[in-house]
Structure formats: C-alpha cells, structure tokens
Amino acid sequence: MPLDGLRAWIGEVERKLGMRTRVFLVLATIAIGGAGAAIYLAIDTRDDAVSESDVRELQEQLETRIDESAVQEQPSSESPSESARPGGAAGGAKATPKGSKAKLQELFEQTEEANKRAEEEQQGK
C-alpha cells in the first residue's frame, strides 16, 4: 500500500526534525551562556578598571613620598656626605624631586594614552 510508505516517510521526517530541534536548543543554550559570561566579564572588568582619579591620587602620594625622602636625604652638615656626592655610595643615581615629578608626569601621560587606546579598542569591537 502506498499509504504505508507515506507514513514511513513522515515518521522519518519527524525524527530528523526532532533531532534538529534538540541540536538547535543545545546550541541556543550554549550561545546564551556565552553571552551571559561575556556580559559578566565586561562588567567585572569595568568595575576593576583604574580610573583617572585613582592615577592622580597615586601620583600625589608618590610626589609626597619623593618630597619627604628628598628632605630626609639632605645632609645635615655643611659638607656633603659620601652618599650624596655623585659617584659616592649612591653611585650618583639619586633623582632630584623636580626630575621625579617630571618622570611621574610622563608616566601619568603614558597611562592616560594607554587608557584612551584601550577605550577606543573596546568601542571598536
């Protein structure tokens, strides 16, 4: 009977459709989970990111410490000590407070540029 062949064909189509539906549901679940993880990571990264005010606060703390150490390292007598002379115990490697501030300003500007590039990359994606 031709009706039996038609029923067998419909049964085969239903089995294929059922399998495709299950595969689609699994893929959809994986995609939703991946999207949720991406959103979570993006929010977590934004919360942990260093802000410009954090960098400025750190810069001010460093400047304060550098100024304090420069005041403490000044020799108390008229003649310079061995460690304060170039080539002495410090090897002439001591930085002046003004040079340190310039270096901090340079590092701060580099950090700002890096943050701007990172934001541009985030917006580009």
- Per residue in 56-108, pLDDT (tens digit) is 888 888 888 888 887 877 765 555 554 444 444 444 444 455 667 777 788 88
Q: Where are the domains of the chain?
A: 1-48, 50-72+94-125
Structure tokens at 96: 């002046």
Residue 90 has φ and ψ, to the nearest 5°, of -85, -10
- pLDDT, one tens digit per residue, over 11-60 is 999 999 999 999 999 999 999 999 999 999 999 888 777 888 888 888 88
User: The whole model's pTM is what?
Assistant: 0.40
The CA-atom distances, in angstroms, between 7 and each of 3, 15, 20, 35 are 6, 12, 20, 42
Tell me which amino acid residue 42 is.
A
